[in-house]
Amino acid sequence: MPRKKPNPHHRAARLALAALVPLALGIAGWQWLLGHPEHNPWAPLNLNDPPGWATRAKLARLKGDVSECRAVLERSEVAFTPLAPTGEGPCARPDRTRLGDYPLAPDTPPVTCPVAAALEIWRRDSVAPAARRIMGGEIRRIEHLGAYSCRRMYGDSEGPWSEHATANAIDIAAFVLEDGTRISVLRDWDGDGPKARFLRAVREGACGSFATVLSPDYNAAHADHFHLDQDERWAGVCR
Ligand SMILES: [Zn+2]
């Protein structure tokens, strides 16, 4: 029996459908991205958008582009003061950005703009919600051990320079709630009580906006603080 000859009209319709389906999916996907700028790598970063798939990559791109990073802070209505560049060589600091409304103590040190942006996201999306959920209170203070220090890693006399040499890092030691409760990395990291769970939650949360997060789990040098930086060399270390 001779095979039935395929109807050329059917074939054309199938081809048209094969071309239209991806096109329709593409348009739908693009429209969805326009409504979800946090997942859209081409949308200008606004820190008030919820965290999304593209957030960390966009934060990473801000490194080295001081004016674009500060434009993001302005667009996101984050208060900050741009300070004049200082230093030279490996400790040159072309980007000194001081947050204007952040509960750091004993002071608010200038950091790089990408660190400032990540601190804002971390406080809003991780630290404040974890304080409410786990500790039942609001954050009054976030105690730090410093941001800028012109030195090599671990204070060695040779080897790579620390991200602290340009204040592209900050060390966080403790959190104080409105009622005075103090949660210290050194004293409260171990165990499974609320303070330890809070510290683990905010350590995990920091990995969403910082390139590198080192905690007591990393090594003994970090027993009393979280090291948070925006160094792309080891991006993804979160321990
Ligand atoms: Zn550090």
Query: 228 C-alpha vs ligand 1 centroid, how far in Å?
Result: 7
Number of H helices and number of E strands within the chain?
7, 8
- Mean pLDDT of the residues in the chain: 91
Q: Is the domain of 77 the same as that of 21?
A: no
Q: Is the domain of 22 the same as that of 111?
A: no
Is 42 within the bounds of a domain? Answer: no
Q: Is the domain of 175 the same as that of 99?
A: yes
Please tell me whether the peptide bond between 106 and the residue prior to it is cis, using omega within 30 degrees of 0.
Answer: yes
Query: 149 C-alpha vs ligand 1 centroid, how far in Å?
Result: 9
Q: Which residue has the higher pLDDT, 147 or 4?
A: 147
Query: 170 C-alpha vs ligand 1 centroid, how far in Å?
Result: 6
Q: Is the domain of 81 the same as that of 118?
A: yes
Count up the domains in the chain and report the number: 2
Read off the pLDDT of residues 37-77 as tens digits, 9 standing for 90 and up. 888 888 888 988 887 888 878 877 887 789 999 999 999 99
Query: 164 C-alpha vs ligand 1 centroid, how far in Å?
Result: 6
Q: Is the domain of 29 the same as that of 56?
A: no
Query: 229 C-alpha vs ligand 1 centroid, how far in Å?
Result: 8
Q: Is the domain of 137 the same as that of 224?
A: yes
Q: Is the domain of 51 the same as that of 26?
A: no
Q: Are 111 and 147 in contact (CB under 8 A)?
A: yes
Query: 112 C-alpha vs ligand 1 centroid, how far in Å?
Result: 14
pLDDT over 70 at 106, yes or no: yes
Query: 7 C-alpha vs ligand 1 centroid, how far in Å?
Result: 71
* Range 214-220 average pLDDT: 94
Q: Is the domain of 126 the same as that of 86?
A: yes
Is 201 within the bounds of a domain? Answer: yes
**Confidence grade of residue 237 (pLDDT, cut at 50, 70, 90):** confident
Query: 35 C-alpha vs ligand 1 centroid, how far in Å?
Result: 37
Q: Is the domain of 11 the same as that of 98?
A: no
From 20-24, 95-99, 167-171, 177-181, the region with the lowest mean pLDDT? 20-24
**Confidence grade of residue 10 (pLDDT, cut at 50, 70, 90):** confident
Read off the pLDDT of residues 126-167 as tens digits, 9 standing for 90 and up. 999 999 999 999 999 999 999 999 999 988 889 999 999 999
Is 239 within the bounds of a domain? Answer: no
Give the domain range for residue 17: 6-35
Query: 142 C-alpha vs ligand 1 centroid, how far in Å?
Result: 15
For the chain, where are the alpha helices, taking DSSP H only? 8-35, 55-61, 66-75, 113-122, 128-130, 185-188, 194-206
Q: Which residue has the higher pLDDT, 33 or 1?
A: 33
Is 237 within the bounds of a domain? Answer: no
CA distance 61 to 64: 8
**What pLDDT does residue 57 have?**
80
Is 238 within the bounds of a domain? Answer: no
Q: Is the domain of 72 the same as that of 27?
A: no
Q: Is the domain of 24 the same as that of 52?
A: no
Query: 177 C-alpha vs ligand 1 centroid, how far in Å?
Result: 23
Q: Which residue has the higher pLDDT, 193 or 45?
A: 193
